[in-house]
Amino acid sequence: MSMDLKIFNRDKVIMSNYSSEQLRNMVREDRVHRNMYIDPEVFEIEKEKIFKKVWLYVGHESLISNPGDYYCTTLVGQPVVLSRNVDNSVHVIFNRCGHRGAKVLNRKRGNAKLFSCMYHGWGFKPDGQLAGVPMRVDFPEKALQEPQSGMVSLPRVESYRGFVFASFNKDVEPLADYLGEARRGIDELVDRSPVGKIEFAAGCHRYHFKGNWKLQLENQADMYHPAACHASTVGPDGRQFRRRAGKEGGDAAFFTPDGEAVVAQTGVRGFLKGHSSEASLFDKEQSGGVWDDYRTLMVDAYGEERTKDILKNRRHSMTLFPSVDILIAQTSVRVIRAVAVDHTEIEVWPVRLTGAPDVISTDLVKYLNITHSAASFIQSDDLEAFERCQEGLKTEGAEWFLVAKGMGHEIDEGKGVLFGPRSSEVGQRAQHYAWRDLMGA
């Protein structure tokens, strides 16, 4: 039975024919309904019940290293600014003038003592406070003192090891609680710097695909697809092309000499709150060339045993639901932005390991160009798959699709972490269950 569902926020009311129960029932234990991917009405509800309720990744603090620095992006389709104030505090504010609502900053990045609106000249401090109004005496002073006359801050902003997150929900749980055990993905990336610091210093790849945002998110917990989808990237020896620094350990084993897809033996983990991770594709430790110089710096900083642990091939990536993927294997960060039900924007940022040899970072950009750019050997395969899924899900051949690989064979590792061997779909199920809990609330 259909019921109207009202979703309220400060700006609008969305009327829906879906009840909370109907939304929740789109996710079963072993399958999900195709409307999650193709129905614009479901996407509008996702914006209110998921993206405006949880923590969303905004950017990295290295993008705003100096007072007055700003970085412009969007959250749930709304323009926002990540900025650093004169007191060195970090802020996330709506990119909107408190006077007539004009977008204030139009460049992607920059530095300014005041953020000036081009329409009527109102000026704002980097923390969003109103700083100047031409012909101020003609306005009621009481109105100018109201917070909404400035560039309003998002309700919640927190940072973890330089990664800045924000939420539209003032009552959202603390970021550390939301990340839980999945925070280890950030730790494993940042700890690879000899000084425990990373930088976004080489720009990013930015591209779009005609598909639902969840297709990219699920792909980051899918070790079943590489053997088929990325087979063209594998040489006669059964190993993929070299994609990491070092004379050894830079290529991954996909097939044994007799054709067995060893890559599909890789495990996956599902975490609480919809986070997931993939075990590493690489079967050898990196060594040789500049990597040995880098490792020496790491040993000097952390000692031999700690360095072994940091550089271990532990996981390929850690995906933090619903907006960012820590690509540990490629020393980079992938951002997922849902634009429409069938339109997603992706950014891939190479990461500089502060204190490591410069060639490590320059090589990383080269490798990322051939793995995760829009025209790369790997990402282009995935984008083709996403768009084919989006087209196929429009058909009426079946209402549900299966997400059951490895079901019943998960290993409980404690603290809400489930490990699934043999390319289990446990990580995708964790995402779907989080979607169900949020949408069905």
Q: How far apart are the first and last CA of the chain?
A: 18
The answer to whether residues 98 and 117 touch, using CB atoms and an 8 Å cutoff, is: no
Q: What are 138's two structure tokens?
A: 């003609």
Question: How high is the pLDDT of residue 4?
Answer: 46
Answer whether the bond into residue 421 is a cis peptide, omega within 30°. no
Average confidence (pLDDT) over 72-99: 98
* Residue 226, H or E segment: helix 226-229
Question: How high is the pLDDT of residue 167?
Answer: 98
Question: How high is the pLDDT of residue 182?
Answer: 98
Average confidence (pLDDT) over 88-92: 98
CA 99 to chain centre: 33
Question: pLDDT band at 323, cuts 50/70/90?
Answer: very high
pLDDT at 1 over 90: no
Three-state SS for 122-143 is CEECCCCCEEECCCHHHCCHHH
pLDDT at 19 over 80: yes
Domains of the chain and CATH, by start = 58-167 (2.102.10.10), 181-439 (3.90.380.10)
pLDDT at 433 over 70: yes
pTM: 0.95
Got the DSSP string for 277-327? EEE-S--S--BSTHHHHHHHHHHHHH-HHHHHHHTS--EEEEEETTTEEEE
Q: Which amino acid is at 75?
A: L
pLDDT at 12 over 70: no
pLDDT tens, position by position, 373-417: 988 999 999 999 999 999 999 999 899 999 999 999 999 999 999
Whole-number Cα distances in Å, 385 to 59, 150, 325: 28, 44, 19
The pair phi, psi for residue 291, each rounded to 5°, is -60, -35
Residue 150: helix, strand or coil by DSSP? coil
pLDDT at 9 over 70: no
Average confidence (pLDDT) over 102-115: 98
Answer whether the bond into residue 322 is a cis peptide, omega within 30°. yes
Q: What are 206's two structure tokens?
A: 């930015």
What are residue 81's DSSP bridge partners?
72, 93
pLDDT tens, position by position, 160-214: 999 999 999 999 999 999 999 999 999 999 999 999 999 999 999 999 999 999 9
Whole-number Cα distances in Å, 380 to 215, 291, 319, 347: 14, 29, 20, 14
Q: Measured on CA atoms in the order 284, 413, 260, 330, is the torsion positive or negative?
A: negative
pLDDT at 54 over 60: yes
Q: What are 295's two structure tokens?
A: 């490792």
Q: What is the DSSP letter of 44?
A: H
What are residue 333's DSSP bridge partners?
326, 349
C-beta atoms surrounding 12 within 10 Å: 9
- How large a percentage of the chain has pLDDT more than 90? 91
The answer to whether residues 341 and 211 touch, using CB atoms and an 8 Å cutoff, is: no
The answer to whether residues 330 and 372 touch, using CB atoms and an 8 Å cutoff, is: yes
Residue 173: helix, strand or coil by DSSP? coil
pLDDT at 13 over 70: no
What are residue 8's DSSP bridge partners?
13
pLDDT at 10 over 80: no
Average confidence (pLDDT) over 318-343: 97
The answer to whether residues 252 and 197 touch, using CB atoms and an 8 Å cutoff, is: no
pLDDT tens, position by position, 237-262: 999 988 888 889 999 999 988 888 98
pLDDT tens, position by position, 279-303: 998 989 999 999 999 999 999 999 9
Question: How high is the pLDDT of residue 259?
Answer: 86
Q: Label residues 328-342 b or e (16+ Cβ within 10 Å = b).
A: bbbbbbbbbbbeebb
C-beta atoms surrounding 29 within 10 Å: 10
Nearest to 385 by CA among 227, 215, 222, 266: 215
Question: How high is the pLDDT of residue 226?
Answer: 95
Number of H helices, E strands in the chain: 13, 25
Average confidence (pLDDT) over 112-124: 98
The answer to whether residues 266 and 423 touch, using CB atoms and an 8 Å cutoff, is: yes
Question: How high is the pLDDT of residue 247?
Answer: 87
Block residue for tokens 């109201």? 146
